[in-house]
Amino acid sequence: MRRLSTALLLALAPSAALAEGKMPQMDFSNPLTGDQVGWMVVILVVLYLALSRWGLPQVGKVLEDRAAAIARDLAAARAAKLEADRAVSLLNATLAAARANAQAEVAEAVAQAKAKAAAQAAELNARMEAKLAEAEARIEAARTAALAAIKPVAAEAAQEMLRRLIGAAPPADELAREVDAALVARKAA
Amino acid sequence: MAGPSIDALGQFTLTPGLGPVGRALGFTNSNEAMLASALIIIGLFAAGLSARALVPGRLQSLVEMLYEFVHNMCVDTIGEEGRRFFPLVFTIFSFILLGNLLGLFPYFFAFTSHIAVTLALALFVFLFSTGVGFYTHGLGFLRFFVPAGVPGWLLPLLIPIEIISYLSRPVSLSVRLFANMTAGHVMWEVFAGFMLMLTAGLGVLGAIAAIIPLGLNVALAALELLVAGLQAYVFAILTCLYLHDAVHMH
């Protein structure tokens, strides 16, 4: 109820006051009503001049400087990042080159070692071959010598056997031919 | 009625300010508040600009925020041409904002609650924007009153409507601010007077009951703070809008 009367009073009070016709804002017969506008013009002109000539350009400059500083720092950061990227790529390239170099050197060393080993083996083989051939030649010579030694013995034995069997002996050179032929036949067999 | 009565309008009475000098020059109590507003604005700039730090302090932030707020409002509403009008819009906005806010304090005169003041401001904005319109487009600015894409036979009806709506701009601009500020201060005064009346009429009971209008006044203080900022913003954005019309004609 009290609230209602408060609201009622609130609603009525301004209109009641206006009804009394005492609204100072509408009292244009008061010279001060016009005077205040004149002084407002003076104050506003001064305020406008102060703000437009001094205050606002200064604030604008502070803001511009800040934006410029931020842009400058960002540019510097971007340049530094580019530099770092280039350094990293350079490092990677150097690493790759060094790795390739090292691998090439290792491969070369391995190839050299292999070639050396192969050469040594070949030399050894050749020496062995030569020794083998020499031994074989020696054996062959010995064999030929032995065979050559057999011939007169065989001819003599055949002459003696024939002499005992038939009491006569063919001439030595004929017998030697026969023994040779027999030996050749044996060898062929 | 015996005891205190509600004098809701006495607060708007103009009196000579600054003593006998003011009396002689017609300097009023409302001009005192205007002077205080202007000095506070200039003082704020002086304090905010004293450091000019890359990372701003509180006062510098406040000044920069005000600057950027009004600057964005100008550029967003008027366009790139708004930069030229920025100092003017800033002066009007800061002056009205400080006037509204100072008016909320006891013993401070709310000069924006005077129709003579708001009408003078609104008429200036109206005449200035009209002048900008004619300056920018010459007599071609008159085409602003011819709505585009309307059948010809409607024009004799629409052109007078457009002109009337254009001419009513200073009225709506000034009355909006004046009425908002006056209504707020009248309501405050009414509730405050009602507290006195309750106490005088009902004694202790009335004093206890007076808590209700007191609470309402506290709530009103918050509302009036909002209105003070909002009306200054509305006045400034409408100024920008009128300037936009003058520059772009649509």
Region at B107 (left for phi over 0; alpha for psi -120 to 50; beta for the rest): left
- Give the pLDDT of residue B1: 43
Question: Which tens digit of pLDDT belongs to each residue from B141-189?
Answer: 998 898 888 888 888 999 999 999 999 999 999 999 999 999 999 999 9
Is the CB of residue B231 less than 8 Å away from at least one CB of chain A? no
Domain extents in chain B: 24-248
Is the CB of residue B94 less than 8 Å away from at least one CB of chain A? yes
- Give the pLDDT of residue A189: 67
Is the CB of residue B30 less than 8 Å away from at least one CB of chain A? yes
Mean per-residue pLDDT, A10-26: 60
Tell me the backbone φ, ψ of residue A182, rounded to 5 degrees.
Answer: -65, -40
Question: Tokens 């950061």 identify what position?
Answer: A77
Q: Give the residues of chain B that fall short of pLDDT 70.
A: 1-4
Which band of pLDDT confidence, cut at 50, 70 and 90, is reported for residue A159? confident
Q: What DSSP character marks residue A125? A: H
CA distance B72 to chain A (A): 12
Contact in structure between B189 and B7 (CB atoms under 8 Å): yes
Residues of chain A with pLDDT > 90, as a percent, come to 57
Looking at beta carbons, which residues of chain A come within 8 Å of B7?
17
Q: Which of B1, B5, B11, B12 would you mutate first to test chain A, the one with the most A CBs within 10 A?
A: B12
Do residue A32 and residue B15 have CB atoms under 8 angstroms apart? yes
| Cα separation, B219 vs B14, whole angstroms | 28
| Cα separation, B166 vs B176, whole angstroms | 16
Do residue B41 and residue A26 have CB atoms under 8 angstroms apart? no
Task: Return residues 120-179 of B near A (CB < 8 Å).
Answer: 120, 178
Question: Which tens digit of pLDDT belongs to each residue from A83-98?
Answer: 999 999 999 999 999 9
Residue A10: exposure state from Cβ atoms within 10 A (0-12, 13-18, ≥19): middle
Which band of pLDDT confidence, cut at 50, 70 and 90, is reported for residue A8? very low
Looking at beta carbons, which residues of chain A come within 8 Å of B90?
51, 56
| Cα separation, A64 vs A133, whole angstroms | 102
Do residue A37 and residue B116 have CB atoms under 8 angstroms apart? yes
Give the count of alpha carbons within 13 A of A10, CB side only.
19
User: What is the pTM for the complete model shown?
Assistant: 0.74
Q: Which of B28, B38, B216 sits opposite A36 (nearest CB)?
A: B28
| Cα separation, B95 vs B88, whole angstroms | 11
Chain A residues in contact with chain B using a Cβ-Cβ cutoff of 8 Å:
2-3, 6, 9-10, 13-14, 17, 22-26, 28, 30-41, 43-44, 46-48, 50-52, 54-56, 58-60, 62-63, 65-66, 69
Quick check: A21 pLDDT over 70? no
Q: Which of A3, A32, A37, A70 would you mutate first to test chain B, the one with the most B CBs within 10 A?
A: A32
Give the count of alpha carbons within 13 A of B192, CB side only.
14
Mean per-residue pLDDT, A53-66: 94
Mean of the per-residue pLDDT values of chain A: 86
| Cα separation, A107 vs A97, whole angstroms | 15
Q: What is the 3-state secondary structure (H, E, C) of chain B?
A: CCCCCCCCCHHHCCCECCHHHHHHHCCEHHHHHHHHHHHHHHHHHHHHCCCCCCCCCHHHHHHHHHHHHHHHHHHHHHCCCHHHHHHHHHHHHHHHHHHHHHHCCCCCCCHHHCHHHHHHHHHHHHHHHHHHHHHHHHHHHHHHHCCCCCCHHHHHHHHHHHHHHHHCHHHHHHHHHHHHHHHHHHHHHHHHHHHHHHHHHHHHHHHHHCHHHHHHHHHHHHHHHHHHHHHHHHHHHHHHHHHHHHHHCC
Do residue A35 and residue B60 have CB atoms under 8 angstroms apart? no
